[in-house]
A and B are shown apart, each in its own frame.
Chain A
Amino acid sequence: MRSRLFRRPNAKIGAALIAVMLIAAVFGVMYTPYDPIINNLHLRLVAPSGQHWLGTDEWGRDVFSRLLNGASISVFVSFSTVLVSVAIGALVGALTGYFSGWPSRVVMLFIDALLAFPSLIMALGVIAVFGASSTGVIIALSLTYIPAVARVVRANVLSLREKEYVEASRVMGNAELYTMLRHALPNAVAPIIVLATALFGWALLAESALSFLGLGVPPPESSWGGMLADSRNYVSDAPWLAIAPGLAISLSLLGVNLFGDALRDEFDPHMKNLV
């Protein structure tokens, strides 16, 4: 399975890009060449050089250091979002898929209603309540992704419920919840993994968008979206300010998407229309 997955060139390129992003996020932040927060107004808007690989910003902070710092925040927020939305979404989807009856239908009505909101607009509303912080972003994004996860998992569990091995477990006298957790949910793991990969990409992009709008991680902490927003006033004098975070976002997303596609093709070609 693994060897077949990496026979796909998409998977190789994607995995390499993701690896760079993860290394930057986890280790890079500990070894930033300069402090990413403290101002140094003597060195405002220095062009890329041997000393500052990607130049400095309007407060004289090293762009490369801020990029590494931003990576850790972006990855942390995206990863947490995926974790929360998959955990809750899969549970809701599995329960509503496995147990039919009016409670399931009511829950699905709510889920469908949530799906009707444009995700960014809903995130704006949630952040207005929780305030602009990484926790706020995680809650906002999770809330918008839970319905998507719940829908996919529910559809899978609905068909798995009819499988004869699930019925066999019920005939044995096993509790319904046990049967669901032991036989139905594990067999829906493949689409959940594929969806989680896609969600990671969406979350990365949405986090950047929210930070760009000033609703994400508040300054002076760096985030890729925030760096992009700050660069707007100086883009003609100091283009590196925009190019560095822009490329970081694009390449990370490309990596996640390539890998996600390969994973999807490997696990389940039928999911092409879903994700």
Chain B
Amino acid sequence: MASVTRSSAVSSSPTNGPVLAIEHLDIGLRKVGGETRRIVVDANFSIAPGEMLALVGESGSGKTMIARAILRLLPPGVAVQGGAIRYAGEDLAHLDAARLRALRGGAIGMVFQEPMVSLNPALRIGVQMTEALRLHRGLRYDAARKHCLDLLERVRIADPVACLDAYPHQFSGGMRQRIMLASTLAMQPRLLIADEPTTALDAIVQKEVMDIMAELTREMGTAVLLVSHDLGMVARYAQQVVVLCRGETMEAGETQRVIADPQHEYTRKLLASLPARGEREPVVPSGAPLVEIRDLDIDFGKPSSSLAFWRKREMFRAVRGANLDLHAGETLAVVGESGSGKTTIGRALVRLVRESGGSIRFEGRDITACTKRDLDAYRLKSQMVFQDPYSSLDPRMRLIDIVTEGLRRVSGLSKQERRARAIAMLAEVGLPDDFAERFPHELSGGQRQRVCIARAIVAGPRFLVADEAVSALDVTVQKQVLALLENLQKKFGFAYLFITHDLGVVEQIADRVAVIYRGRILEIGPRDAIFADARHPYTLRLLQATPRIRRIEGGAGYRLEQHESRAQPPPAGHVYFNHGSITTQPPSAGEPEMLAVGPNHHVACAASVAERIEKSP
């Protein structure tokens, strides 16, 4: 009890000097043989009150380990080997358990990556939020509840009273992360550790959560340790940055300075790996498109209980009336948040899901209603590259067999020819001969993705659906795989349907962009038109939410760029089509129509109310 009062006393009296100081911190992993592998080597940094410091690095850089070491949440076998973690003068690495418990969740708060699992699903939000207040401050439930209501309001939860009585599953990921933030900040911690707090969230929601976090912590004077792989986000929010690679500090300093004038080779490499607008020769759509998607509707049955198999299942419409053309040799990016239906369109194109209405034509032939033979021929012309490089290769097969299987449906090839072509394809994606006999588990994520690409292109398809194909990779690897995809396109003339949530990647490789929201395509146009002259309010919000780092022209450095295009009025007599919560306006009635606002640039509009009154007799 004594320690609790002491902790609250410490947190209420502001002291000069840093809140947290990491000094010569070494963290090691003890292996079975008794030797230790060093995970973090000689880390040094400090955070002042009200300041945000970001630890940036690729996977395996040790950034999460440092954050976890502060609260002594290291996984088994991993331990602090040397150095000090000073919090308000105390060394956390050598603190006794009781004192540490008093700090955890009180003076030091933590927000984790996965909002879906960081709240206890069995307890009401109110019970969880007030827990820390009752434990550390000794507040009664009523008082704690009142305090929580204030904070829920601050993180802009619409109905805080109802929220306290609700269960976590009733909220979306972004809402849960805001609730987590509110309950952590309810303790007015002096230090907040945020480990990839918005990585699982969509761009717009990510911006909302980060804005709130930055605003509240600045006000409360809370020091923030942000762990992130996303340089754009770090540049937007953190004042200080520490760049880590394999446990070693590469560079540290003010974020603006580090980005504008990177000193270390690795920092430069990291910045150069960020997707940047590539120079693409615009593909002139000539002749009939390769693929025509017309009025495509796709429904999913909601899961029903297994016993009621005679009952008709409730349906959910994932894609509504989609129209898309894919021309030979072009890259069409489909952008949208999770659940927008972008993946479903791609899966329909490779016949992994069936449509409920509309048509998909390939070289003029409707493949939603054709003979088995035509479908078999189409399968060879369309291929897919999946998101997760760890589950997209059969773990029991050698690479050569995985790639050769792509030729299984190609007739008239001898065994040697198949093998030779598979080896040639592996070489094409940058994997030399000696990879042929390896198993997937011997490969890194980037190498696995290369195998997936080889498997997809070995039979000579006309187009590839790439579903978040580079999203799971570190930026430096991502850059290489994107370059590979571009080279293959130049060489073989594939068209890509590139499904992604990452606007940076889109800007780098797309010729045209389609923006989709809740199953509807809202805007479609050439890449430069979308990025420079976006019309639909949703597209604009998406562009503004994505932080972008650009090379300073004529210099070696980089800077954070704000998106500048302004909202523009819709074509005369129309309003922008709107369904759901895109803008504050009420949803528009009826079906949208795609109106041209530039060459090949269309935006979803609905007749304005005035227009409708005029038209009606």
* Chain A residues, Cβ within 8 Å of B393: 165
Contact flag A164-B392 (CB < 8 Å), given A105-B309, A172-B409: yes
| Complex interface residues of chain B between 425 and 461 (CB less than 8 A to chain A) | 452, 455-456, 459
Say yes or no for A186: interface residue by CB 8 A criterion.
Answer: yes
The number of residues on chain B lying at the interface, defined by a beta carbon within 8 Å of a beta carbon of chain A, is: 29
Q: A183: nearest residue on chain B (CB-CB)?
A: B394
Contact flag A174-B455 (CB < 8 Å), given A105-B306, A164-B388, A164-B392: no
Q: Mark A168-193, 1 if CB is under 8 A from B, else 0.
A: 11111110000000010011000000
Complex formed: what's the CA distance from A165 to B441 in Å?
14
Most buried by B among A108, A163, A186: A163
The answer, among A108, A171, A183, for a CB contact under 8 Å with B379, is A171
Q: A102: nearest residue on chain B (CB-CB)?
A: B309
On whether the beta carbons of B380 and A173 are closer than 8 Å, the reply is yes
The answer, among B386, B405, B406, B408, for a CB contact under 8 Å with A164, is B386
Say yes or no for A266: interface residue by CB 8 A criterion.
Answer: no
Complex formed: what's the CA distance from A102 to B309 in Å?
7
On whether the beta carbons of A165 and B376 are closer than 8 Å, the reply is no
| Complex interface residues of chain B between 360 and 389 (CB less than 8 A to chain A) | 375-376, 379-380, 382-384, 386-388
Say yes or no for B396: interface residue by CB 8 A criterion.
Answer: yes
Contact flag A172-B379 (CB < 8 Å), given A163-B391, A165-B393, A183-B394: yes
* Chain A residues, Cβ within 8 Å of B376: 173
Most buried by B among A108, A167, A168, A170: A168
Complex formed: what's the CA distance from A169 to B404 in Å?
12
* Chain A residues, Cβ within 8 Å of B383: 171-172
The answer, among B351, B382, B392, B395, for a CB contact under 8 Å with A168, is B392
* Chain A residues, Cβ within 8 Å of B351: 171
* Chain B residues, Cβ within 8 Å of A173: 375-376, 379-380, 409
Contact flag A165-B394 (CB < 8 Å), given A173-B376, A173-B379, A173-B380: yes
Say yes or no for B352: interface residue by CB 8 A criterion.
Answer: yes
Say yes or no for B350: interface residue by CB 8 A criterion.
Answer: yes
On whether the beta carbons of A174 and B309 are closer than 8 Å, the reply is no
* Chain A residues, Cβ within 8 Å of B382: 171
* Chain B residues, Cβ within 8 Å of A108: 306
Q: Mark A99-123, 1 if CB is under 8 A from B, else 0.
A: 0001001001000000000000000
On whether the beta carbons of B306 and A164 are closer than 8 Å, the reply is no
On whether the beta carbons of A168 and B396 are closer than 8 Å, the reply is no
On whether the beta carbons of B391 and A168 are closer than 8 Å, the reply is no
The answer, among A102, A171, A187, for a CB contact under 8 Å with B350, is A171
* Chain A residues, Cβ within 8 Å of B379: 171-173
On whether the beta carbons of B352 and A170 are closer than 8 Å, the reply is yes
Complex formed: what's the CA distance from A171 to B391 in Å?
15
Q: Mark B312-325, 1 if CB is under 8 A from A, else 0.
A: 00000000000000
On whether the beta carbons of A168 and B455 are closer than 8 Å, the reply is yes
Complex formed: what's the CA distance from A169 to B455 in Å?
10
* Chain B residues, Cβ within 8 Å of A187: 394-396
Complex formed: what's the CA distance from A171 to B382 in Å?
8
Contact flag A171-B306 (CB < 8 Å), given A164-B392, A187-B394, A187-B396: no
CB distance from A108 to the nearest CB of B (A): 8
On whether the beta carbons of B384 and A171 are closer than 8 Å, the reply is yes
* Chain B residues, Cβ within 8 Å of A168: 384, 386, 392, 452, 455-456
* Chain B residues, Cβ within 8 Å of A167: 352, 384, 386
On whether the beta carbons of A186 and B396 are closer than 8 Å, the reply is yes
On whether the beta carbons of A174 and B409 are closer than 8 Å, the reply is yes
CB distance from B308 to the nearest CB of A (A): 10
Complex formed: what's the CA distance from A168 to B379 in Å?
11
Q: B383: nearest residue on chain A (CB-CB)?
A: A171
Complex formed: what's the CA distance from A169 to B406 in Å?
8
Complex formed: what's the CA distance from A105 to B309 in Å?
8
| Complex interface residues of chain A between 3 and 42 (CB less than 8 A to chain B) | none
Q: Mark B388-422, 1 if CB is under 8 A from A, else 0.
A: 10011111100000000110110000000000000
Q: B349: nearest residue on chain A (CB-CB)?
A: A171
Q: Mark A41-53, 1 if CB is under 8 A from B, else 0.
A: 0000000000000
Complex formed: what's the CA distance from A168 to B451 in Å?
12
CB distance from A163 to the nearest CB of B (A): 5
On whether the beta carbons of B409 and A164 are closer than 8 Å, the reply is no
Complex formed: what's the CA distance from A80 to B336 in Å?
56
On whether the beta carbons of B405 and A169 are closer than 8 Å, the reply is yes
CB distance from B405 to the nearest CB of A (A): 7
CB distance from B132 to the nearest CB of A (A): 33
Contact flag A165-B408 (CB < 8 Å), given A170-B352, A173-B376, A186-B396: no
The answer, among B386, B392, B406, for a CB contact under 8 Å with A172, is B406
CB distance from B295 to the nearest CB of A (A): 24
CB distance from B305 to the nearest CB of A (A): 11
Q: B394: nearest residue on chain A (CB-CB)?
A: A165
CB distance from A247 to the nearest CB of B (A): 38
Contact flag A164-B391 (CB < 8 Å), given A105-B309, A172-B406, A173-B409: yes
Complex formed: what's the CA distance from A168 to B405 in Å?
10
Most buried by B among A108, A167, A171, A186: A171
Q: B409: nearest residue on chain A (CB-CB)?
A: A173
- What are 17 A-B contacts defined by CB distance under 8 Å? A105-B306, A163-B391, A164-B386, A164-B391, A164-B392, A165-B391, A168-B386, A168-B456, A171-B384, A172-B405, A172-B406, A172-B408, A172-B409, A172-B459, A174-B408, A174-B409, A183-B394
Known: A164-B391, A168-B456, A171-B350. 20 other contacts (CB 8 A): A105-B309, A163-B392, A164-B386, A165-B391, A165-B393, A167-B352, A168-B386, A168-B392, A169-B405, A170-B352, A171-B351, A171-B352, A171-B382, A171-B383, A171-B384, A172-B379, A183-B394, A186-B396, A187-B394, A187-B395
| Residues of B in contact with A (beta carbons under 8 Å apart) | 306, 309, 350-352, 375-376, 379-380, 382-384, 386-388, 391-396, 405-406, 408-409, 452, 455-456, 459
| Residues of A in contact with B (beta carbons under 8 Å apart) | 102, 105, 108, 163-165, 167-174, 183, 186-187
Q: Which 3 A-B pairs have the closest CB atoms?
A: A173-B379, A164-B392, A164-B386
